[in-house]
C-alpha cells in the first residue's frame, strides 16, 4: 500500500514536471496533529512606540481609550484573536526589574531603556497593566523573566505576585495594588537572547543558570507554569544541542529567534518600502529558510526527546528593515508592505507544517515595531498587510493540520529560484477545511489544481484574497485600505475531489471548503 502511494506520488511529480502543472494534493482524512493556536502569537516590548502610544496612552489621554489602553487597538486585536502575548521583551526584559512597574504610578521610578535609544521609561505600564490587557484580549500572557541582570529571588517574587493565592507578602502587595485574584499566567521565559543582549553567555553557562531559575520557577508556579529556555540565534545548532543535552529535563520549551533581512546585512537591512525585485526575492527566500532552520533544530531535539515533550517556540520572527526616514534608529519603526504579507503567510504555512514540534511563535512585534500588525500616529491607526494575513489565517488556530503535498513551478530571478507557491491546510472542529495559498511570483498568475483524497467536499464556502498593485504597496494613515482583503472568486469545484484555482501574482488566498 505504502509502495503504491510512493509510486503514485512519483508519477504525479513526473507528470506535473513534464506538463508544468501545479498540483496540491491534500489528504482530507489523514489529519493527526493540532496546529497550536499559539503559533499565531504576538510580542510586545518596551521599545520605541510599541507600549507607549501603541498600546497604552493613559486614562487622561485625548485619544479614545479603555482604562488607558487605546480603544481602536483593543478592538483591532480582539478581532485578530490573539492567542498569546509575550512581554516585556526582548532585550528590555533582561534589564527589567518588575517592582519598578507596580503600585501608584506617581511613585514608580523612571529608568533608562538602555537597549532601545536610551529613552526614559516611566514604568506607567507594568505588570498589572500588562496582565489586565491580556484579560481584555482573552489571550495568555507569556512573561519573559530577567536572567541577565536580575536574580532568582526577584523572579520568584514576580511569579508569586502574579500567580499565587497564598497569604504571603507578594500576594498581599498585589492585593494592595487592587488585584484580589491571581492572573492566569501560563508561560515564563527564562531569559531572552542570553547568548547576546541577555548576558553574552556560552550555552554551557546559560544551561546551568536555566536549570537553577527553572527549578525555582517550577516550585512557585502554582498554576503549572510552562518554562521556556532561551534558544538559539538562528542557525546556532550547537546552542540547541547543549541545551537539550544538559537542560532538557528542566524546561518545557525551547525558543528560537530568526529575523529576515532582505538587504545586504545587519548594517544595511534595506528599506521597508523602497526596494526592487532583488530585495523582494531575497526577503522571501530568507523567510523560507525558516523551514530548514526549524527542521534542523527539531532534528536535534528529536535526538534527545523523541516523544516531543519539549516544545519549540519561535518566539521572535519577522522581517527587520531600516527604520522609516526620520524615525529614531533605536525605535525600530518600519512600514509594512505586500512583501511583508507574503513573508507572514509563507512563514505561517511553514510553522503550521511543523506543528508536531512548534507549539508557539511570536511575530515581532504587535504595534509600531518591526513587522507590526498595527501602526499608530496620534489618534490615527492603520492595519498593516501583515495584520490582514494574521486575520485570514486565524482559521488554522487549533485546527488539525492536513497532510499535503505540493508540486509547483519555481519563481526564478537571475540564477536563483524559490517555489512559487506556499500553502498549508487544516480542518477545524466543525469539519470545515481551510486551505491557505500564496503566489510569491510578483508578475505571473498561477493556475493550481487541488486534489482531495480520503474524502470529498460538497462546496467551496468562501474565498478571501489579499493582494496589491505593487509588491511594495503599503497602507498609510491617509490611505489605510490600499492593501485590504476582498472576496476571492477564482476557485472552481470540478468534482467532489478536485478544484481549480487561479492565484493572482503576489497574493495570499484563503479558501473554506465543506
Ligand atoms: O525584537 C527586537 C529585538 O530583537 C528584541 O529585543 C531582541 O530579543 C531581538 O534581538
**CATH number of the CATH domain containing 86:** 3.20.20.80
* 362 and 410, same domain (yes or no): no
Q: Enumerate the β-bridge partners of residue 121.
A: 111
Q: Which of 44, 148, 257, 363 to mutate to test the pocket of ligand 1 (most atoms within 8 A of CB)?
A: 257
Query: Does residue 10 register a pLDDT over 80?
Result: no
Q: What is the pLDDT of residues 445-494, one digit of tens each?
A: 999 999 999 999 989 999 999 999 999 999 999 999 999 999 999 999 99
Tell me which of 399, 432, 453 is where a domain ends. Answer: 399
pLDDT confidence of residue 218 = 84
What is the domain count for the chain? 2
Tell me which of 399, 429, 456 is where a domain ends. Answer: 399
Q: What is the pLDDT of residues 322-353, one digit of tens each?
A: 999 999 999 999 999 999 999 999 999 999 99
For the CA of 365, the closest atom of ligand 1 is: 1
Residue with CA nearest ligand 1 atom 7: 90
Residue with CA nearest ligand 1 atom 9: 90
Distance 257 CA to ligand 1 centre (A): 9
Distance 12 CA to ligand 1 centre (A): 44
Average pLDDT of the segment spanning 240-268: 97
Distance 258 CA to ligand 1 centre (A): 10
pLDDT confidence of residue 220 = 81
* 351 and 482, same domain (yes or no): no
* 299 and 416, same domain (yes or no): no
Distance 196 CA to ligand 1 centre (A): 10
* 124 and 251, same domain (yes or no): yes
Average of per-residue pLDDT values in the chain? 95
For the CA of 92, the closest atom of ligand 1 is: 6
Q: What is the pTM of this model?
A: 0.95
Q: What share of the chain is helix, strand, coil (3-state, %, to 5)?
A: 30, 30, 40
For residues 346 and 438, is the Cβ–Cβ distance under 8 A?
Answer: yes
CA distances from 492 to 86, 464, 502, 505 (A): 41, 14, 9, 18
**Confidence at 17, pLDDT banded by 50, 70, 90:** very low
What are the catalytic residues?
Answer: 193, 316
* 152 and 163, same domain (yes or no): yes
User: Closest Cα partner for 308 from 226, 230, 248?
Assistant: 248
Domain containing residue 435? 21-31+402-513
* 482 and 347, same domain (yes or no): no
The answer to whether residue 213 is domain-embedded is: no
CATH of the domain at 489: 2.60.40.1180
For the CA of 370, the closest atom of ligand 1 is: 1
The answer to whether residue 261 is domain-embedded is: yes
Tell me which of 399, 433, 465 is where a domain ends. Answer: 399
Residue with CA nearest ligand 1 atom 4: 90
* 359 and 474, same domain (yes or no): no
The answer to whether residue 157 is domain-embedded is: yes
d(CA 80, CA 185): 21
Residues in the chain, overall count: 514
Q: What is the pLDDT of residues 400-438, one digit of tens each?
A: 999 999 999 999 999 999 999 999 999 999 999 999 999
For the CA of 45, the closest atom of ligand 1 is: 6
Tell me the Cα Rg of the chain. Answer: 23
Distance 381 CA to ligand 1 centre (A): 24
* 421 and 373, same domain (yes or no): no
Distance 90 CA to ligand 1 centre (A): 5
* 376 and 424, same domain (yes or no): no
Q: Which of 190, 314, 320, 364 to mutate to test the pocket of ligand 1 (most atoms within 8 A of CB)?
A: 364
Residues within a 6 A CB radius of ligand 1: 45, 89-91, 192-193, 316, 364-365, 370
Residue with CA nearest ligand 1 atom 5: 90
Residue with CA nearest ligand 1 atom 6: 90
The answer to whether residue 430 is domain-embedded is: yes
pLDDT confidence of residue 360 = 98
User: Closest Cα partner for 139 from 197, 183, 176, 203?
Assistant: 183
For the CA of 89, the closest atom of ligand 1 is: 6
CA distances from 374 to 77, 87, 134, 468, 496 (A): 9, 17, 17, 18, 40
d(CA 272, CA 263): 10
* 378 and 446, same domain (yes or no): no
The answer to whether residue 10 is domain-embedded is: no
* 423 and 395, same domain (yes or no): no
* 281 and 379, same domain (yes or no): yes
The answer to whether residue 215 is domain-embedded is: no
Amino acid at each position: 500500500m505504502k509502495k503504491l502511494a510512493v509510486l503514485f506520488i512519483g508519477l504525479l511529480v513526473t507528470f506535473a514536471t513534464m506538463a508544468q502543472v501545479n498540483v496540491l494534493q491534500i489528504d482530507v482524512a489523514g489529519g493527526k496533529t493540532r496546529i497550536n493556536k499559539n503559533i499565531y502569537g504576538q510580542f510586545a516590548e518596551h521599545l520605541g512606540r510599541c507600549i507607549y502610544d501603541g498600546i497604552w496612552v493613559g486614562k487622561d489621554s485625548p485619544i479614545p481609550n479603555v482604562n488607558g489602553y487605546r480603544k481602536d487597538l483593543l478592538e483591532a486585536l480582539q478581532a485578530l484573536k490573539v492567542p498569546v502575548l509575550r512581554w516585556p521583551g526582548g532585550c528590555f526584559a533582561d534589564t527589567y526589574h518588575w517592582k519598578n512597574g507596580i503600585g501608584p504610578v506617581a511613585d514608580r521610578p523612571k529608568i533608562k531603556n538602555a537597549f532601545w535609544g536610551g529613552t526614559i521609561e516611566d514604568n506607567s505600564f507594568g505588570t498589572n497593566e500588562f496582565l489586565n490587557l491580556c484579560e481584555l484580549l482573552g489571550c495568555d500572557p507569556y512573561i519573559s523573566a530577567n536572567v541577565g541582570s536580575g536574580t532568582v529571588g526577584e523572579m520568584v517574587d514576580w511569579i508569586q505576585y502574579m500567580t499565587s493565592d497564598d497569604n504571603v507578602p507578594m500576594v498581599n502587595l498585589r492585593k494592595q495594588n487592587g488585584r484580589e485574584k491571581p492572573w492566569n499566567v501560563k508561560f515564563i521565559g527564562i531569559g531572552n537572547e542570553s547568548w547576546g543582549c541577555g548576558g553574552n553567555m556560552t550555552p554551557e553557562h546559560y544551561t546551568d543558570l536555566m536549570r537553577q531559575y527553572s527549578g525555582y520557577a517550577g516550585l512557585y508556579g502554582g498554576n503549572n507554569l510552562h518554562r521556556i529556555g532561551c534558544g538559539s540565534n538562528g542557525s546556532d545548532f550547537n546552542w540547541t544541542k547543549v541545551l537539550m543535552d544538559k537542560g532538557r529535563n528542566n524546561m518545557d520549551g525551547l525558543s528560537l529567534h530568526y529575523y529576515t533581512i532582505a538587504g545586504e546585512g545587519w548594517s544595511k537591512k534595506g528599506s521597508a518600502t523602497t526596494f526592487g525585485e532583488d530585495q523582494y526575492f531575497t526577503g522571501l527566500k530568507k523567510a523560507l529558510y525558516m523551514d530548514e532552520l526549524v527542521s534542523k533544530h527539531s532534528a536535534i531535539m528529536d535526538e534527545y526527546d523523541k516523544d516531543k515533550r519539549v516544545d519549540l517556540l519561535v518566539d521572535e520572527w519577522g522581517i527587520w528593515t531600516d527604520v522609516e526616514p526620520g524615525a529614531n534608529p533605536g525605535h525600530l519603526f518600519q512600514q509594512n508592505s505586500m512583501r511583508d504579507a507574503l513573508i507572514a503567510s509563507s512563514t505561517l504555512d511553514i510553522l503550521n507544517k511543523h506543528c508536531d514540534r512548534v507549539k508557539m511563535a511570536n511575530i515581532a512585534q504587535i504595534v509600531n515595531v518591526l513587522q507590526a500588525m498595527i501602526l499608530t500616529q496620534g489618534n490615527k491607526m492603520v492595519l498593516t498587510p501583515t495584520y490582514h494575513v494574521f486575520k485570514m489565517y486565524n482559521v488554522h488556530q487549533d485546527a488539525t493540520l492536513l497532510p499535503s503535498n505540493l508540486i509547483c513551478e519555481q519563481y526564478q530571478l537571475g540564477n536563483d529560484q524559490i517555489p512559487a507557491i506556499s500553502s498549508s491546510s487544516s480542518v477545524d472542529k466543525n469539519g470545515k477545511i481551510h486551505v491557505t495559498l500564496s503566489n510569491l511570483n510578483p508578475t505571473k498568475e498561477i493556475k493550481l489544481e487541488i486534489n482531495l483524497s480520503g474524502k470529498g467536499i460538497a462546496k467551496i464556502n468562501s474565498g478571501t484574497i489579499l493582494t496589491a498593485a505593487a509588491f511594495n504597496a503599503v497602507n498609510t494613515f491617509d490611505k489605510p485600505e490600499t492593501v485590504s482583503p476582498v472576496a476571492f472568486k477564482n476557485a472552481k469545484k470540478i468534482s467532489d475531489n478536485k478544484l481549480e484555482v487561479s492565484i493572482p501574482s503576489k497574493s495570499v488566498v484563503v479558501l473554506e471548503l465543506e
